[in-house]
Amino acid sequence: MLALDSSRPVVGNCSHLTVQTLVSNSAERFPDAIAIAAPGRPSLTYRRLRDHIKNIVSTLNTMGIGQNDRVAIVLSNGPEMAVTFLAVASGATCAPLNPNYRSKEFGFFLSDLKAKALIIQSGIDSPARRIAERKGINLIELSPLSEAGTFTLVGEKNKDHTLPGFAQPEDMALVLHTSGTTSRPKIVPLTHSNICTSADNVRQTLELAKTDCCLNIMPLFHIHGLIGALLSSISAGASVVCSPDFYAPRFFEWMKDFRPTWYTAVPTMHQAILARAEENSEIVKLCKLRFIRSSSSALPPQIMVELEKTFGAPVIEAYGMTEAAHQIASNPLPPRRRKAGSVGITSGPEIAIMDEEGNFLPKGEKRDSNPRPKPYERV
């Protein structure tokens, strides 16, 4: 149950920002700091990230892709997926898709999106390729380079009329599908102002700084990973370790190699990590986390207790929705009170609780989850 909070909400004034300006601002402040890291790859600094994004936007423009053109992305989790999102959003509209979809699902989503292009890794067989070719969608091949997150794009040159250059705050940065109250998924378009404000709210809630390092194990076709882990870190000038999908046995190896200060995950991931924590107790002692974040579904209170006992770090549970560009409410960091089983307090958006009639309830009053049926009225 959400609760109204009388304290001042954390609200970022980011309506003037874009994904590109977030990256550029951090590059100006911390040019040589690590932005993107990955297992077995040289890390990418903020200076190099900014320059690479500029080059990718120019390349897309030569292919007839510009502001508000929808570009679908089908890539495995990892640094290329992270930087492709940042680069595409900086000059067009990014539409990441689950690479594990089947032909029928790709067919639906690519049609529903009205995608102008599809970015897919060179040499990777996927039903998305055949669907794109069948629908006449421009296919763009991505080939990774040595630095984490750097790549080349190869596709047909196109002189279609387009708006070149970097996107504006009111432009659509990200388009995702979410399941609603019906069986048909619905499109959720999010502007640069939307996602930059949400990222800044996460940054403020978690007090992220340049010294922080997030170990991202969340899929980057999902709002949780894109905003809660990646863009929030970029807004702080912090670093993000982009893992190649979640694999619990390697989680502790990544902890040892990169010494992250935090990670964010869904409850099932936390449970899988806990199941292997005892056999990796030395790494847990050596690699101290500042906090652990949980979102996307309710965290059982006993899991929260076990995580805090195992890692010696506070667990911050948050609540969000794709339609709200991710975070809506969050438990605060210590010394403020954290409440197990609660989504916490507002962390940017305004929150209110209403009764069955749509009336706002005063602070402290609960909404009746089992209201009495209304008397039968003869009509």
Domains and CATH numbers, the chain: 45-191 (3.40.50.980), 193-346 (3.40.50.12780)
Give CA 182 to chain center in angstroms.
24
Q: What pLDDT score does 102 carry?
A: 94
Q: Helices 79-91 and 19-29 meet at what angle, rounded to 10?
A: 110
Burial (Cβ within 10 Å: 0-12, 13-18, ≥19) of residue 324: middle
Q: What pLDDT score does 276 carry?
A: 95
Rg (C-alpha) for the chain, rounded Å, is 21
DSSP H or E run through 61: helix 46-62
Distance CA 9, CA 275 (A): 36
Name the percent of the chain in helix, strand, coil, to the closest 5.
35, 20, 45
Q: What pLDDT score does 183 carry?
A: 64
**Ramachandran angles phi, psi of 109, nearest 5°:** -65, -40
Q: What pLDDT score does 19 carry?
A: 97
Q: What pLDDT score does 182 carry?
A: 58
Half-sphere exposure of 360 (CA within 13 A, CB side): 6
Global confidence as pTM? 0.90
Residue closest to 79 by CA, chosen among 296, 277, 297, 230: 230
Burial 249-283 (b: 16+ CB within 10 A, else e): ebbbebbebbebbbbbbbbebbbbbbeebeebeeb
Mean pLDDT by 10 residues, the chain (379 residues): 35 77 97 97 98 98 96 97 98 96 94 96 94 95 97 90 90 87 80 96 96 97 95 97 90 96 96 95 95 91 94 94 88 90 83 84 73 42
